[in-house]
Amino acid sequence: MMIIMRADATQEQISQVVARVEAVGLRAHLSRGQERTLIGAIGDDRTIDKGHFAVLPGVDRVVPILRPYKLASREFSPENTVFPLDGVSIGGNEIVLIAGPCSVESRAQLMEIAHAVREAGAHALRGGAYKPRTSPYAFQGLGEEGLELLAEAREETGLPIVTEVMAPEMVPLVAKYADVLQIGARNMQNFALLHAAGESQRPVLLKRGMSATIEELLMAAEYILSHGNRRVILCERGIRTFENATRNTTDINAIPVVKSLSHLPVILDPSHSTGKWEYVLPIARAAIAAGADGLIVEVHPHPEEALSDGGQSLKPERFVEMVEQVRRIAQAIGRDVAPSPHRERLASPLGAGRRDEQ
Amino acid sequence: MMIIMRADATQEQISQVVARVEAVGLRAHLSRGQERTLIGAIGDDRTIDKGHFAVLPGVDRVVPILRPYKLASREFSPENTVFPLDGVSIGGNEIVLIAGPCSVESRAQLMEIAHAVREAGAHALRGGAYKPRTSPYAFQGLGEEGLELLAEAREETGLPIVTEVMAPEMVPLVAKYADVLQIGARNMQNFALLHAAGESQRPVLLKRGMSATIEELLMAAEYILSHGNRRVILCERGIRTFENATRNTTDINAIPVVKSLSHLPVILDPSHSTGKWEYVLPIARAAIAAGADGLIVEVHPHPEEALSDGGQSLKPERFVEMVEQVRRIAQAIGRDVAPSPHRERLASPLGAGRRDEQ
Amino acid sequence: MMIIMRADATQEQISQVVARVEAVGLRAHLSRGQERTLIGAIGDDRTIDKGHFAVLPGVDRVVPILRPYKLASREFSPENTVFPLDGVSIGGNEIVLIAGPCSVESRAQLMEIAHAVREAGAHALRGGAYKPRTSPYAFQGLGEEGLELLAEAREETGLPIVTEVMAPEMVPLVAKYADVLQIGARNMQNFALLHAAGESQRPVLLKRGMSATIEELLMAAEYILSHGNRRVILCERGIRTFENATRNTTDINAIPVVKSLSHLPVILDPSHSTGKWEYVLPIARAAIAAGADGLIVEVHPHPEEALSDGGQSLKPERFVEMVEQVRRIAQAIGRDVAPSPHRERLASPLGAGRRDEQ
Amino acid sequence: MMIIMRADATQEQISQVVARVEAVGLRAHLSRGQERTLIGAIGDDRTIDKGHFAVLPGVDRVVPILRPYKLASREFSPENTVFPLDGVSIGGNEIVLIAGPCSVESRAQLMEIAHAVREAGAHALRGGAYKPRTSPYAFQGLGEEGLELLAEAREETGLPIVTEVMAPEMVPLVAKYADVLQIGARNMQNFALLHAAGESQRPVLLKRGMSATIEELLMAAEYILSHGNRRVILCERGIRTFENATRNTTDINAIPVVKSLSHLPVILDPSHSTGKWEYVLPIARAAIAAGADGLIVEVHPHPEEALSDGGQSLKPERFVEMVEQVRRIAQAIGRDVAPSPHRERLASPLGAGRRDEQ
């Protein structure tokens, strides 16, 4: 870290800071400017509270120099992390598509969607059995029954399952059924949960918190990595801003920024990042154009009856169209959508362009 | 809710929306304007997903009319909720002060602070045994040993204990030691934790999430209330904005807004809402002037050695000054700081005004 | 608008609101729910201050129904606005590229860049003669001399000129030299300037303010349109959020949202929306994938010597690469980069993929 | 500034940065850490584009050390700036109150309000003759006729006039009538206007832009100061955040932050910072408790008929109450509301506490 002294700092104050820097095992390096003295604290200070120095007399402010994450950083691990997800690889050159309903509602609903998204080319099935809902009066998910239905859907379609876990003590149960543990945006800094997920053997899909910085997202990944689980997929799902024309603001910059700072795969969730189905296709295309390694998308055959997130779910026929558009964008940048190991026949021919209603 | 149709919506689309409104048990009421048709859905729609209607053909958007919380609302419960906290009342006319270290670090540290804040007039002792830390490499708290030290401090000083609980399965353990369960900003929408806290017998101090709207804060309180626990204290602790001169932006508006929307007590945490000890006193005064029912403040005798949040902790002598200033503001608006049932003698005479170093 | 009464509103208060609605020439339409009464105010209320109604006794809040802009809206004008820009069309199927330095610094600098971007396929030359700078001590632009150099560059290359105007009384002077008047983000709500630009005969490139909502952007366009100038290009250039890994947050959602709400052409400025040249290419691709009608990009042959915005300027060879990538994305969605009417020979062969330094 | 090299920067890249630092007249100072090399650039770099260095090969990022403003800073000018405003002083120990309508609507309206606020103890009259309105269809102010009415109100009541100027060429006209030139939030970075105001002889009331950082506010003040006008009053008026329960979020932290960074007087506008009259009183009290030097408040005898901002205007009797409450808070912190040199008789007795309707 760099400690910037006030313009009126005394020599004694400077000496006190230097002494303190050395007391915590770092080396101090002075740089006297015309208006300010700077004190560099040299050494690995990632575990040291910078607030200690900020409160010393004569200190103006403290500037961190080292990035606070290590295992998640590309400096530490220059090559892309690539790992298999039941037949496809994520983090490599091919685009991975995860699709399914917001909530598991019933066997019929889930099987209909699972078959539809597999036929359209999806590589994994998403669906919530435990739902974080803003209102205690809203549908909270089917719980373990939902997990069983998801396992049944995997049985039927071959698609691996991505589903959310909301509490540390639930990790073993959810990991029993799921192929990938999802940690939702509201739990991105639920450190007890990150810790538990880090001790699990399942890959983790970690969603960015709605007001988390990219650095905080990488620190949350660091929690999981540092507890031994190296298979983390980062997911941009929109951030909260003043703009209210959309549910969230897709931080498309986050895609190339995360790719440059970290070696972990990064995907985008255009359903949550826009909140309206009309905008899912253009934003899905943009994500791939910007370099995302995949997408996670909500699909529901009857959005007007969905128990949650109806307004942002694609109908299966629009999802087919999305896959085709995404494929063309992927090819335009020298990548491709991964072939589906589970699909038996080709998707139906595409619809022609944007329509006003799904 | 009110459903606003597009300007070009057809009669058939309008009829379809009306049919759907009636299908979920609400009554539809049409209002045809020059440019738009509006469809009012009459009845309690708090549990109905508004997205259902947003996706119907011809619908432009859906405007909620009813506030989504009920038990937390002043409409439901017009009188202020007031409840005792070991000798003082919170939510009434008197101001309650909670103070202590960010983290419990050692017996010596905790006892020194506990005595100091009691002498200064604090009514409860805060201190974290389990610490949510952005970095997995930072000090994570003493755990149960910290809880035992807190219980010992209560034994010695008589001050009730406020401490954080981070996971639902920890609620019984923490409740065994603590008088008030704190739910931190990062867990404000950890619904499993809210549920568990709602089933506990302890009052809950619920901190606003760093990007939570006031409505979401009240919905989080609704979770606790709806699971049977009516003793919730709301806490404004600053929100995340673009401004980076301070750690967070104190949303002082939230004080009168929450008081007008809800009957629950509301306090402010000027340590986190500013992030710098220099600003804690003016913001503490502002909170009381705006109508807050209390404050929660970080105090540490040696901020430069604190294991966390050193930069925003007040030294005990500054805390004494804060109490005196807050008392004068409280009296200026016809309230007062609650007398301390635990204090044996008067605080030392005050320092004179703002000094540059603590 | 819709006026939502408080749950405890009296019949007399309701009558008073109805009377007031009728007094301003609107028709009132009552809708009594179980908990609330709503009063619809029917008629064109775009010019009526909704605050009037918000302050009436018994009123809870007022919800606007009509969008406040008219000329800028797609409802008013369903077909895309397309207009020529010296040999190409903007707003149609073809992508338009505007490129050049942040500031005009010298004849040599400007001519070098103008030739380079023309050869790469740009359709217009940007460059600031009057620069809005945060610091009064920073380079403020060459002023009229800069305008003359821009005119000279047009003479030499045939490229039309896009340049910023910062004050209403400067509009005639800038319009004498420029083909398109740019209104910068900081002036998006400089209403005197919007008024003056609305009376000019030049097309206007209107940049979104850094914390302007999409609705406010369209209202700013409405100012220009309502003063008689129908040739407005909207430009997303990033918004201000809490994220500080990039200079701004590219609101990629704004592209499809603006296209759906308005008939005006919309382009993106990836230089300002990211603030770092490394991210310009992926975000340029994303913009086109999301449906933007063009791009405005900063290019400088020696970014390390630029008098402003060096950190976000592309070198000419990277710009060549960008044009090629953007072309492939455009083709993937059935569009294309407009052929350059000014280019004499083909661009040099492309570099291969992302390099670490420009 | 401090230039932080990438972990993999070569010695040659470091030498190149050092050479460049020296080329712009600064002195380079190397500090080699375990993971990073830092290069301090020593000297006054306020006018140097930091982007130059950010783009050099091997550079990770550039951290500014010096604050970019000078004349506005407390380091430069440690004593509070205090200047007279027609009988009272602003910036000293006494609180100054500016009140009046949002817009000047008519002679009758203005005179009624002017007398009312004078009797209540206001020290200056605010009122807009030129109104920045989001909609081109909304009332835009009476223009010069409004200025004449303001001058007439000063004649009648003795109150100095604060009114907005929206374009540089209007400064001389507005300065002819006004005692204080107001620069609105939307024009805080209208640099041509700041320049013109800096050349005027009138004090300037500079409102913070709705998404301006405190540093940018001080830089805007620096523009005015550096053009020769040293009488600047800074005004916090709420910032734009995700919270929508209020029109803006009052950044109460800004009061002590600005007081610590700058010597200029700072006031708060609780009408705009909340947007609802119900919250004006508590936030006015909070501002004074936090250390503001004054308030600017909207007052209208018939808010339900106001041509703008009706919803946030206080009725005169509430303003009387506000003055009394603010006085008690001021006295609690050892300050006082300035006596009114213009008031002939005492204000009427106060109402008792918060009422639900004005």
CATH T-level fold of A2-63? Alpha-Beta Plaits (3.30.70)
Mean per-residue pLDDT over chain C, rounded: 92
Smallest CA-to-CA distance from C154 within C87, C242, C240 is with C87
In chain D, the residue whose alpha carbon lies closest to the alpha carbon of A32 is: D42
Smallest CA-to-CA distance from D204 within D215, D193, D214 is with D193
- A245: which chain C residues are within 8 Å (Cβ-Cβ)? 213-215, 253-254, 257, 261
**Domain ranges across chain A:** 2-63, 83-337
Residue A353 confidence (pLDDT): 37
Of A320-329, A336-345, D250-259, the one with minimum mean pLDDT is A336-345
State the Cα–Cα distance between residues B255 and C151, nearest whole angstrom. 57
**Whether B51 and A136 lie within 8 Å, measured CB to CB:** no
Average pLDDT over residues A18-44: 88
* Confidence band for A15, pLDDT divided at 50, 70 and 90: very high
**Whether A311 and B54 lie within 8 Å, measured CB to CB:** yes
Of A86-100, B20-34, C173-187, the one with minimum mean pLDDT is B20-34
pLDDT single digits (tens) C229-282: 999 999 999 999 999 999 999 999 999 999 999 999 999 999 999 999 999 999
* Confidence band for A358, pLDDT divided at 50, 70 and 90: low
Residue D36 confidence (pLDDT): 86
Angle (deg, nearest 10), helices D107-120 and D144-157: 40
| Residue B275 near residue B105 (C-beta atoms within 8 A) | no
Give me the torsion for CA of B254, B256, B260, B263, rounded to 10°: 80
Residue A305 confidence (pLDDT): 81
* Confidence band for D358, pLDDT divided at 50, 70 and 90: low
Residue C357 has pLDDT above 60, yes or no: no
Residue A84 has pLDDT above 60, yes or no: yes
| Residue A187 near residue B167 (C-beta atoms within 8 A) | no
**Whether D33 and A4 lie within 8 Å, measured CB to CB:** no
| Residue with the larger pLDDT of the pair C145 and D7 | C145
Average pLDDT over residues B24-43: 87
**D83-337 classified as CATH 3.10.150.10:** no
ipTM of the complex: 0.93
Tokens of D12: 């040659």
Q: Specify the length of chain A in residues.
A: 358
- C221: which chain D residues are within 8 Å (Cβ-Cβ)? none
* Confidence band for A351, pLDDT divided at 50, 70 and 90: very low
Minimum distance, in Å, between the CA of residue D67 and any CA atom of chain A: 11
Residue B357 confidence (pLDDT): 56
pLDDT single digits (tens) A209-264: 999 999 999 999 999 999 999 999 999 999 999 999 999 999 999 999 999 999 99
Average pLDDT over residues B167-180: 96
Residue B169 confidence (pLDDT): 94
For chain B positions 170-229, those within 8 Å of chain C (CB to CB) are 211
**Whether D43 and A66 lie within 8 Å, measured CB to CB:** no
Q: Specify the length of chain B in residues.
A: 358
In chain C, the residue whose alpha carbon lies closest to the alpha carbon of A240 is: C241
Residue D357 confidence (pLDDT): 56
- D286: which chain B residues are within 8 Å (Cβ-Cβ)? 252, 255, 286-287, 289-290
pLDDT single digits (tens) C36-52: 899 988 888 887 878 77
Nearest CB neighbour to B282, from listed D256, D285, D328: D256
Residue B149 confidence (pLDDT): 98
Residue D345 confidence (pLDDT): 43
Residue B309 confidence (pLDDT): 77
Q: Partners for C (CB, 8 Å, 3+ pairs)?
A: A, B, D
Of C80-89, C181-190, D32-41, D243-252, the one with minimum mean pLDDT is D32-41
**Whether B29 and C31 lie within 8 Å, measured CB to CB:** yes
State the Cα–Cα distance between residues C230 and C199, nearest whole angstrom. 10
For chain D positions 260-289, those within 8 Å of chain C (CB to CB) are 276-277
pLDDT single digits (tens) B275-327: 999 999 999 999 999 999 999 999 999 888 887 777 899 999 999 999 999 99
Residue A233 confidence (pLDDT): 98
| Residue D243 near residue B213 (C-beta atoms within 8 A) | yes
For chain A positions 41-100, those within 8 Å of chain C (CB to CB) are none
* Confidence band for B138, pLDDT divided at 50, 70 and 90: confident
Average pLDDT over residues B329-344: 90
* Confidence band for B355, pLDDT divided at 50, 70 and 90: very low
Residue D144 has pLDDT above 70, yes or no: yes
Q: Tell whether B242 is within 8 A of chain C (Cβ).
A: yes
Residue B54 confidence (pLDDT): 85
In chain C, the residue whose alpha carbon lies closest to the alpha carbon of B73 is: C7
CA distances for A229 relative to A71, A202, A225, A259, C217, angstroms: 11, 8, 5, 20, 46
Other CB atoms within 10 Å distance of the CB of residue D150? 28
Residue D344 confidence (pLDDT): 58
C-alpha triplet B329, B331, B335: angle, nearest 5°? 105
**Whether A54 and B211 lie within 8 Å, measured CB to CB:** no
| Residue with the larger pLDDT of the pair C140 and A297 | A297
Angle (deg, nearest 10), helices C214-226 and C191-198: 40
Q: Which H or E run contains D325? A: helix D316-332
Minimum distance, in Å, between the CA of residue A11 and any CA atom of chain B: 16
State the Cα–Cα distance between residues A207 and A184, nearest whole angstrom. 5
Residue C218 confidence (pLDDT): 98
